[in-house]
Amino acid sequence: MTSILVVGGAGYIGSHMVKLLLGRHFDVTVLDNLSSGHRDAVVGGCFVQADLEDKIALDNLFAENQFAAVMHFASCIEVGESVERPGKYYQNNVANTLSLLNTMVVHKVKHFIFSSTAAIFGQPEYTPIDENHPKKPINPYGKSKLMVEQMLEDFDHAHGLKSVCLRYFNAAGADPEGQLGERHNPETHLIPLVLQAASRRRKQIYIYGSDYETEDGTCVRDYIHISDLCDAHLLALAYLRENQQSNQFNLGNGNGFSVREVIDKTSQVTQKNFEVVDSERRQGDPAVLVADAKKASEVLGWQAKFNQLEKIIEHAWQWELNHNWPN
């Protein structure tokens, strides 16, 4: 059995990935410090609770296992917090990833799949955003992810460590079987927040800016279903093993939906009314962020199965209804 280390496997995307890998009969080990993940979200495999900062634990883990590849989901993801606490982001997202890469080199593990982000591009100069778009991140979060992409280039040259960087646009939705879903605390993402308003866990939903240069004045984003994201990781793994070559891909549906469209579609799917409040713009939000994922489709053979907003919301709603976790 091929053995995969999933770092951050107790988090939102990582836990869905673990489930998919187990379903495909991979031997899975999860490393997570549970700073934001949940132990009960890891549905199988071997679970190790340790911090990436703990070099001894990391070294022992690699000494005891023969990992064919590492998938790295563990990072801090809040843009606003990254502006206020850049040290936390550079420590966790950059320094700790560097430790992980150094350990991989020592133990001769050659394949790495990295959760990157659309935030590495900064303010879009054109849309949809392809892989050639200039990379000028405007906050420490985006910078920290770009720094890792740059480190990976150097680790490939120096050590033959081959990586695939997957730049997610807006990861959304939940396990279609209803077993897993999004559980951030605090929650900052639009779809779970709107669903919390629909389920009365939240009093209202705020629209951060309705004077953008878009059709209805609200920001447009490219929401990609979590299952489609996980599929892309499996394809990236196959790509690394077949081609022994590093690469980078933007991942989105190529379909943009405005904040207002998300809210309207949520009312429709849930059959609930809730209060919607027009509010100030949130700092650093580009008007439109849409991916050009042609390269992922041509090179990896990736196709989104759930590219309709309705399905994404339906699956996330199913999770919200069944798992009304206290905040």
Considering the complex, state which of residue 51 and residue 285 has its C-beta at the smaller distance from ligand UDP. 285
Find the shortest distance in angstroms from Cβ 171 to ligand UDP: 9
Residues written for the chain: 327
Find the shortest distance in angstroms from Cβ 210 to ligand UDP: 9
Considering the complex, state which of residue 12 and residue 239 has its C-beta at the smaller distance from ligand UDP. 12
Q: What is the rounded CA–CA span in Å between residue 232 and residue 251?
A: 8
Name the residue whose CB lies closest to ligand UDP. 219
Find the shortest distance in angstroms from Cβ 117 to ligand UDP: 8
Residues within the interface to ligand UDP (CB under 6 A): 170, 188-190, 193, 205-208, 219, 221, 259, 282, 285
Distance of CA 271 to the CA centre of its chain: 28
> Over the range 45-79, which residues count as b (16 or more CB within 10 Å of their CB) and which as e?
bebbeebbeeeebbeebbeebebbbbbbbbbbbbb
Query: Computed from CA positions of residues 246, 247, 251, 253, in that sequence, does the dihedral angle turn out positive or negative?
Result: negative
Find the shortest distance in angstroms from Cβ 83 to ligand UDP: 13
Angle between helices 190-198 and 309-322 (to 10 degrees): 60
Please list the active-site residues.
141
Q: Are 120 and 135 in contact (CB under 8 A)?
A: yes
Find the shortest distance in angstroms from Cβ 193 to ligand UDP: 5
Considering the complex, state which of residue 103 and residue 270 has its C-beta at the smaller distance from ligand UDP. 270
Q: How does DSSP classify residue 90?
A: I
**Which pairing describes strands 3-7 and 27-32: parallel, antiparallel, or unpaired?**
parallel
Find the shortest distance in angstroms from Cβ 259 to ligand UDP: 4
Considering the complex, state which of residue 153 and residue 280 has its C-beta at the smaller distance from ligand UDP. 280
Closest by CA position to 100, among listed 38, 152, 167:
152
Q: Are 218 and 260 in contact (CB under 8 A)?
A: yes
DSSP code string of 179-208: S-----SS---HHHHHHHHHTTSSSEEEEE
Closest by CA position to 209, among listed 130, 274, 282:
282
